[in-house]
Every structure is written in structure tokens, then in C-alpha cells.
Amino acid sequence: MRYNNDMQSLEYVTVLIGATLPALSFLMQYHFSAKAGTLDAFKRHQMVYWGDWLLVPFAAIVGLLVNWANIAWLLAPCLKVNICWPSGTRLEFL
């Protein structure tokens, strides 16, 4: 019985970490925009500015519903896209 409780706790911690990734993405984009002096352009782009915050509850729900043991091999490419793509496309179109 202890094994099931430990696994459930681990699952909730993993979901919590996964749900904070969009917020972390927003904070990184905000930091890099402030550092580059493009904060005004960043704030005018509403999808970037609010979209990451809308994805936090979505990420939590998906994290609870998906059986991650079957698709764990997708985690590294998804993290790379989630972190690298927004900043790369934003810099390209400034």
C-alpha cells in the first residue's frame, strides 16, 4: 500500500512541475525581453503575454489525465520546443 501512495505523490509533484513550465517560459521570455530592451514589444504581443498563463491549468489537467509512462520518450523534445521556440521566433520577427 505504501508503494501506491508514494507513486501517487510522485505523480502529483511531476504534474505540479509540468504545470509550472508555461509560467517558467513566460518568466524567461520576460527576462530576456527586459535584457534586450524589447519589453514594450513583448507586452503588445497578447498571445505571448497571456497565453503562457492560460496554459498553466491546461498543463495541470493534461498532466493528470495522460499516462506518461507510455509517452515518456517525448518529454525531452517537448521541453526543448517549449523553452527554445518562443524566444527564437520572437527574436526573428522583431
- For the cut 60, the answer to whether the pLDDT of residue 3 exceeds it is no
What is the structure's pLDDT at 80?
75
Please choose, from the candidates 65, 60, 47, 77, the residue with its C-alpha nearest in 3D space to the C-alpha of residue 20: 60
Mean pLDDT of the chain: 76
Q: Are 63 and 17 in contact (CB under 8 A)?
A: no
* Residue 35: per-residue pLDDT: 92
What's the rounded Cα separation, in Å, for the pair 85 and 91? 10
pLDDT digits (tens, 9 = 90+) for 27-73: 888 899 899 998 888 888 877 777 777 777 877 787 778 776 777 77
- Structural domain span for residue 30: 2-92
How deeply is 26 buried, as exposed, middle or buried, from its count of CB atoms within 10 A (0-12, 13-18, 19+)?
Answer: buried
Rg (CA), the chain: 16
- Total domain count for the chain? 1
Above pLDDT 70, what percent of the chain? 79
